[in-house]
């Protein structure tokens, strides 16, 4: 039986559409949809257990995978099966998770899985822009409790015109690439990179994307109604006790407020809060704590959050004693590590990042192999967040999603400031050594200084800052916090990170927790962030004003040379012999790529010290050397023969040519050694190919004066060899046998 299919179509306004379809695939899932644009198709399924998990949080898993079959390709490597997710897939998972998670009820703790798969790929459609729409649509078709439909959209801008969900080709021309997640009423998530745009321009891009998202949310509602909106499932809510909540609040609030106002350090503050909590717990019997100890902890946390927020809103003070727009003390240092190509330390308050830079050839580029995109990165950044940075000991389980996301944000902040003509592949690694608030922004600052220390000619230095927002919708009060602490990250209504140069924003990441945040507050927050960025930027440029002119002595120098395609083989040599010997002799690394447009060979020479690089350049010059007819060249005798001397061009070692004995001098030369000897250096004239021998001809005598009375010998005639032509292979027929040859006598029989 053919299943009934329900479908909604969203018009993107420029001839493109997105369709949402359900009823055909994965019907045992609690919700499933196929989202399609062009030939790009995503399947999203949702399953949520009906039994609550024994945890105090939502165990939500958002998984996004790209199937290589969707693009008619095989997975790379020896293991021909999709394995661990790529960084690109992890970043898409994070984008969707950050919008979905806050919209589930806070007391909903059922194991929940949202699985999104790329089933068909289209080169003109970027699938990550539709992943949020697919996830939300699947949830709307289920009975899972969820506050409101959401969607996500990418926005680009070409020649001042905004575009929704641009193609990858269009993004190459765009001056911004932003992903916005929102409901019909509120923007909830923003992430992207820009080419130094203003705060107002960023707000306009968010508005533009939000209008498109409203249409997508409405389409989900229509689809759910047509399919048959299910009744929201009942689940066992968390236990509540309002009398206990008030009791804990009254016991904790004033004490917490006093500690928060004291402006103490993270450790002192943490110990003081723990003491307050223990004092409150001590007022209960063991039986009472066994019965509702979890509620005591929960209500204490609420009281602590309320006290800290009110301190900031009422008195403009923060946990460490700063004012709302004040930046923590900063100290910086460059060239800290003696053996790296570039290094720096950036410390802001209790957050510290140590960045290193490594320079390499195109061979070290980061290869990206996804079903939706193949390419490479010549600039990339890796971010490491070890547990000791927060004074913890926990298992090490490989690179976390958080590390991938924070590293990507810092990479996007810096990459557009690396010049397009930078000859190196550049890898930046940030080691977070201490963390109490925005280690990703510390990574941007440390990365900027390390790049400048390495001699990478950044267009402009980049700094970054993490901001927070505390607001009271009833009173209309709000406070924007510059350079937030780790504790402030959790208690605010918005946390956002902004990076940029002195002239504009280069990257951002926002998570907005309050509904209906006005664009006026958003722009004000961004402007306060700009003041903070410029303050931090001043600290960076005080430490290292401009990039170093040269790379460090122990760092490799990169020289790039273009050669005609026809000479690539000669440079590589049979079986790679020439290039391998050259690398060994000169202690350099040589990489040859082909320009797909000009079909020229691009030779990258990487070496420590000028001597080896110069030797490689000389060898290339020798291989490319082509003497011009009529020009005079200096040569050196490298081999003596009976009929001449083999000479080498002094300007192109390795290029040899025969100087025939007849071209040594005007006088008749009986012995070559009468005129030249091994090692002699002199000039010769180049005549090109000799029409008689079809070999290159050079002459020493041609640049010498003719002796007085010299008479040239007449040229030989074609038959001056006395009838030798009759000995040719064509004249060996039976008719040419010698008449005087006696016939063979028959053998006599014995």
Specify binding-site residues. Answer: 489, 495
Spatial contact of 453 and 334, defined as CB atoms under 8 Å apart = yes
Q: How many CA atoms lie within 13 A of 678 on its CB side?
A: 4
Three-class SS of 495-538: EEEEEEECCEEEEEEEEECCCCCCHHHHHHHHHHHHHHHHHHHH
CB count within 10 Å of CB 59 equals 13
Please give the Cα distance from 11 to 353 (Å, whole number).
46
Residue 417: strand, helix, or coil:
coil
Q: Do the Cβ atoms of 45 and 29 come closer than 8 Å?
A: yes
* Burial annotation 13-27 (CB, 10 A radius, 16+ → b, else e): eeeeebbbbbbeebe
CA distance 409 to 406: 5
Please say whether the beta carbons of 385 and 402 come within 8 A: yes
For the chain, first and last CA: distance in Å?
A: 103
* DSSP label of 554: T
Query: Which residues contribute to the annotated binding site for Mg(2+)?
Result: 489, 495
For the chain, give the number of residues: 750
**Cα separation, 492 vs 512, whole angstroms:** 9
Residue 345 has, within 13 A of its CA and on its CB side, a CA count of: 14
C-beta of residue 506 within 8 angstroms of C-beta of residue 458: no
Outline where DSSP puts E strands in 390-531: 425-434, 463-472, 477-482, 494-501, 504-512
Q: CA 637 to CA 56: how far, in whole Å?
A: 88
Distance, CA of 503 to CA of 500 (rounded, Å): 7
Scanning the structure block, which residue is given the tokens 């460090």?
Answer: 552
């Amino acid at each position: 039986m053919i299943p009934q299919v329900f479908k909604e179509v969203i018009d993107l306004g420029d001839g493109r559409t997105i369709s949402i379809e359900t009823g055909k695939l994965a019907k045992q899932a609690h919700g499933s949809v196929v989202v399609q644009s062009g030939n790009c198709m995503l399947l999203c399924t949702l399953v949520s257990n009906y039994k609550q998990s024994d945890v105090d949080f939502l165990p939500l898993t958002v998984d996004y995978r790209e199937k290589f079959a969707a693009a008619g390709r095989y997975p790379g490597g020896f293991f021909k099966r999709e394995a661990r997710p790529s960084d690109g897939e992890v970043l898409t998972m994070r984008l969707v998770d950050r919008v979905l998670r806050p919209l589930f009820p806070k007391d909903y703790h059922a194991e929940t899985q949202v699985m999104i798969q790329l089933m068909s790929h289209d080169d003109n459609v970027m699938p990550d822009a539709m992943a949020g729409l697919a996830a939300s649509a699947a949830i709307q078709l289920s009975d899972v409790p969820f506050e409101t439909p959401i969607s996500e959209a990418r926005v680009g801008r070409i020649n001042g015109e905004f575009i929704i969900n641009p193609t990858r080709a269009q993004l190459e021309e765009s001056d911004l690439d932003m992903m916005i997640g929102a409901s019909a009423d509120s923007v909830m998530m923003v992430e992207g990179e820009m080419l130094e745009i203003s705060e107002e321009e960023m707000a306009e891009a968010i508005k533009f994307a939000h209008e498109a998202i409203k249409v997508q949310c409405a389409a989900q509602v229509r689809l759910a109604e047509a399919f048959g909106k299910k009744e929201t499932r009942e689940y066992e809510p968390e236990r509540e006790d309002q009398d206990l909540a008030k009791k804990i609040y009254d016991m904790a609030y004033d004490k917490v407020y006093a500690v928060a106002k004291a402006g103490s350090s993270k450790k002192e503050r943490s110990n003081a809060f723990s003491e307050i909590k223990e004092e409150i717990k001590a007022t209960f019997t063991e039986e009472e704590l066994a019965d509702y100890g979890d509620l005591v902890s929960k209500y204490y946390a609420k009281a602590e959050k309320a006290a800290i927020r009110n301190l900031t809103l009422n008195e403009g003070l923060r946990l460490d004693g700063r004012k709302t727009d004040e930046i923590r003390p900063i100290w910086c240092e460059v060239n800290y590590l003696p053996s790296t190509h570039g290094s720096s330390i950036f410390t802001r308050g209790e957050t510290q990042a140590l960045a290193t830079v490594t320079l390499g050839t195109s061979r070290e580029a980061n290869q990206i192999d996804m079903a939706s995109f193949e390419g490479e990165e010549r600039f990339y950044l890796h971010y490491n967040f070890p547990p000791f940075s927060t004074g913890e000991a926990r298992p090490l389980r490989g690179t976390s999603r958080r590390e991938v996301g924070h590293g990507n944000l810092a990479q996007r902040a810096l990459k557009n400031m690396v010049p397009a003509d930078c000859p190196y592949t550049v890898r930046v690694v940030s080691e977070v050594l201490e963390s109490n608030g925005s280690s990703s922004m510390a990574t941007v600052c440390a990365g900027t200084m390390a790049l400048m220390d390495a001699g990478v000619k950044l267009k402009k230095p980049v700094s970054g800052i993490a901001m927070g927002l505390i607001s009271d919708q009833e009173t209309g009060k709000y406070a924007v916090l510059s350079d937030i602490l780790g504790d402030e990250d959790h208690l605010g209504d918005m946390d956002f990170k902004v990076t940029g140069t002195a002239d504009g924003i280069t990257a951002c990441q926002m998570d907005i927790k309050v509904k209906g945040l006005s664009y006026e507050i958003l722009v004000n927050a961004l402007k306060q962030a700009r003041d903070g960025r410029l303050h931090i930027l001043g600290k960076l440029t005080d430490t290292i004003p401009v990039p170093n002119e040269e790379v460090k002595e122990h760092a490799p120098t990169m020289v790039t040379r273009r050669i005609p395609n026809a000479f690539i083989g000669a440079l590589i040599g049979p079986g790679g012999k020439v290039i391998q010997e050259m690398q060994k002799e000169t202690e350099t690394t040589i990489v040859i790529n082909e320009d797909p447009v000009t079909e020229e060979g691009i030779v990258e020479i990487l070496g420590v010290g000028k001597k080896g690089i110069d030797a490689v350049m000389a060898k290339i010059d020798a291989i490319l050397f082509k003497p011009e007819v009529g020009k005079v060249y200096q040569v050196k005798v490298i081999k003596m023969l009976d009929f001449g001397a083999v000479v080498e061009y002094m300007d192109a070692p390795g290029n040899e040519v025969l100087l025939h004995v007849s071209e040594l001098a005007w006088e008749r030369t009986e012995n070559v050694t009468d005129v030249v000897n091994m090692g002699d250096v002199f000039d010769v004239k180049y005549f090109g190919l000799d029409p008689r021998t079809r070999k290159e001809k050079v002459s020493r005598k041609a640049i010498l004066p003719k002796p007085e009375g010299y008479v040239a010998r007449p040229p030989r005639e074609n038959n001056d060899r006395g009838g030798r032509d009759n000995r040719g292979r064509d004249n060996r027929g039976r008719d040419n046998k010698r008449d005087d040859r006696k016939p063979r006598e028959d053998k006599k029989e014995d």
